[in-house]
Structure 1
């Protein structure tokens, strides 16, 4: 079945790794964290245990840098048997603070594409993460002027998307979601009868990965870059 976008009136965008670089900074931070704890465990074990701690803490802290910072601190205490120095704990906190203060690095052609799309469509942001951090990145990005609505969701599931579209009085048949995560941006959108465009990013958090067979048979676009979207929208 082919993708038909002629009825689309509203286009939604994920933020992290769709509009700007994000996950790369988490991978870099994990490497720094591993070096700090190298006297207590192997790099592979540290990575595994930190990921387990992040998943355990998601219901408490949600997504974003602050929850990641707290998980690093908790994991450092456990792996060191509570012998971690105050100096190392401070360095761990500084890893997180450095992530929060990173400049917003837009992905290729993002602003030009949004500027052009905003002439014809209502654009919204539907993203996960820490509210304050996402608001900060949107302001620093210079992109906020192109969006009709900004929504920071605690989770990206079909029910959350359904509530958002209902609140904004958007018909699923008139909505297209663009994002880098099959799990969060694409599959839940298809479930509610809307259209989706997947733009893979070069690195994906383990929690956001899905098995190949989960997406088999699902009808969505796969784009190499955001600029490719114009090939599928009505002229």
Structure 2
């Protein structure tokens, strides 16, 4: 299907690329703001929560558990230490609900991965909590289609260089597909790979950066159904 001197390995992001994720954070954030509604306006609570998340990323990492701890921290701050134990219990319950939510695949995810499997080395490259990401992959039914799974604490050019060298033929023959320009696309391009942006209606504000429009290996598609045709066109380059 492809010249061996060109693209051989394709990495996929998981959350909001293959299945829904951010919508559950948004729903839980609204639930959280309602719990603290007598103490502050929703916009103020959301802003304080975002600040807590920023502070805690380096400590707790990405994912639901860190988000839950940030909600608890915010509740303590907003109530000036007077948050009742019952509210803390409700926050913990909200976090558990997120961890047990059924997996909802995004349009064309399964058919696209199935179409590319076997013709290319397929990698799942995702960041976040190990247990939660393994749970979602198992629930998606897509696990057997990937040649390797890498769950990382963060995504950088060095991350992609290491992964595409370990599981493929180096970053120059790799492609990363995802909804986050900051995590999936820009660092992959910096590593020498192709970076394909698949926008999602909801993207965490901390993942927003400007698209690298001048980068020769940057591409954008409207959904995963367009990916096989894009890959075929890339195979004809040169």
CA displacement at 1:6 relative to structure 2: 7.7
What's the secondary structure of 2:134's corresponding residue?
A: helix
What's the secondary structure of 1:215's corresponding residue?
A: coil
Moved over 6 A (4+): none
Q: 1:6 to 1:27 in 2, by over 3 A?
A: farther
Residues 179 and 200 in structure 2, CA contact (< 8 A), matched pair in contact too: yes
2:231 corresponds to 1:217: no
Distance 1:217 1:115 in 2: 31
CA displacement at 1:169 relative to structure 2: 4.7
Aligned to 2:193: 194
CA displacement at 1:83 relative to structure 2: 0.8
Aligned to 1:171: 170
- Structure 1 segment 142-161 matched on structure 2, within 5 A: 142-161=141-160
Aligned to 1:127: 126
Distance 1:6 1:233 in 2: 14
Give deviations 1:149-177, integer Å, cap 9, x for gaps.
Answer: 00011111111111222333532221111
CA displacement at 1:5 relative to structure 2: 11
What's the secondary structure of 2:88's corresponding residue?
A: helix
Give deviations 1:76-129, integer Å, cap 9, x for gaps.
Answer: 011111111111111111111101100000001211111110031110001111
CA displacement at 1:233 relative to structure 2: 2.2
Give deviations 1:38-62, integer Å, cap 9, x for gaps.
Answer: 1111111100000000010111100
What's the secondary structure of 1:151's corresponding residue?
A: strand
Residues 5 and 233 in structure 1, CA contact (< 8 A), matched pair in contact too: no
CA displacement at 1:199 relative to structure 2: 0.3
Residues 16 and 22 in structure 1, CA contact (< 8 A), matched pair in contact too: yes
Distance 1:218 1:112 in 2: 29
What's the secondary structure of 2:177's corresponding residue?
A: strand
2:8 corresponds to 1:13: no
- What TM-score, normalized to structure 1? 0.94
Aligned to 2:227: 229
Aligned to 2:88: 89
Distance 2:226 2:4 in 1: 14
Distance 1:187 1:233 in 2: 18
Aligned to 1:30: 29
Distance 2:192 2:109 in 1: 26
Aligned length: 230
- Unaligned residue ranges in structure 1 (runs of 5+): none
Residues 5 and 234 in structure 1, CA contact (< 8 A), matched pair in contact too: no
Residues 176 and 195 in structure 1, CA contact (< 8 A), matched pair in contact too: yes
Residues 20 and 105 in structure 2, CA contact (< 8 A), matched pair in contact too: yes
Distance 2:4 2:15 in 1: 24
